[in-house]
């Protein structure tokens, strides 16, 4: 149950420094932030979180943890927008896009972003997804 009018963002990443940095940035933007430090912890929290938006890392316990988690979130909360924020392209050379139809069918995220976003870019994407 939500106790205020702040939108809740569910932030999942296995990099504690990144979580700290992102949580601080999102709170400064006026959001309530709930964090999990990986796919397993996030799955254990899913039925209690009730997020307005989720930001997920892609590669956590597994190379596809973010994709698996986004499927599970969409099954529980079909209307919750999901941002996959990752450095996978820089780390592996693998490319993903939500622009082509074949990727859209299996990637259950609404926006795919490379890590290293400026706060104003992130705020713009979140505002668009939450229609703020």
Cβ contact 70:82 at 8 Å: yes
* Domain count along the chain: 1
More confident residue, 86 or 103: 86
The answer for residues whose C-beta is within 8 angstroms of residue 53's C-beta and 6 or more apart is 7, 8, 9, 10, 80, 81, 82, 83, 126, 129, 130
* In-domain check, residue 51: yes
Q: What is the pLDDT of residue 86?
A: 77
pTM exceeding 0.75 = yes
List C-alpha distances in Å: 69 to 12, 24, 43, 55, 127.
Answer: 9, 23, 7, 11, 22
Q: 11 φ, ψ to 5°?
A: -110, 120
Other beta carbons within 10 angstroms of residue 52's beta carbon come to: 20
* In-domain check, residue 3: no
* In-domain check, residue 38: yes
* In-domain check, residue 50: yes
* In-domain check, residue 47: yes
C-alpha span between 81 and 79 (Å, rounded): 6
Residues in the chain: 132
* In-domain check, residue 1: no
Q: What is the pLDDT of residues 15-58, one digit of tens each?
A: 999 999 999 999 999 999 999 999 999 999 998 999 999 999 88
Give the CATH number of the domain where residue 104 resides. 3.40.50.2300
* In-domain check, residue 78: yes
Q: Percent of the chain scored above 90 by pLDDT?
A: 53
* In-domain check, residue 2: no
> Domain of 26?
8-130
């Amino acid at each position: 149950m939500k106790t205020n009018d702040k939108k809740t963002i569910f932030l999942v990443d296995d990099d504690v420094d990144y979580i700290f940095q992102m949580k601080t940035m999102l709170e400064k933007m006026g959001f309530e932030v709930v964090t999990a430090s990986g796919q397993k912890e996030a799955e254990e929290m899913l039925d209690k979180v009730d997020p307005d938006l989720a930001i997920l890392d892609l590669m956590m316990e597994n190379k596809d943890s973010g994709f698996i988690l986004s499927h599970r979130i969409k099954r529980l909360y079909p209307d919750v927008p999901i941002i996959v924020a990752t450095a996978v392209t820089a780390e592996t050379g693998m490319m993903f896009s939500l622009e082509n139809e074949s990727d859209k069918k299996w990637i259950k995220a609404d926006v795919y972003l490379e890590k290293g976003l400026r706060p104003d870019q992130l705020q713009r994407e979140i505002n668009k997804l939450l229609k703020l």
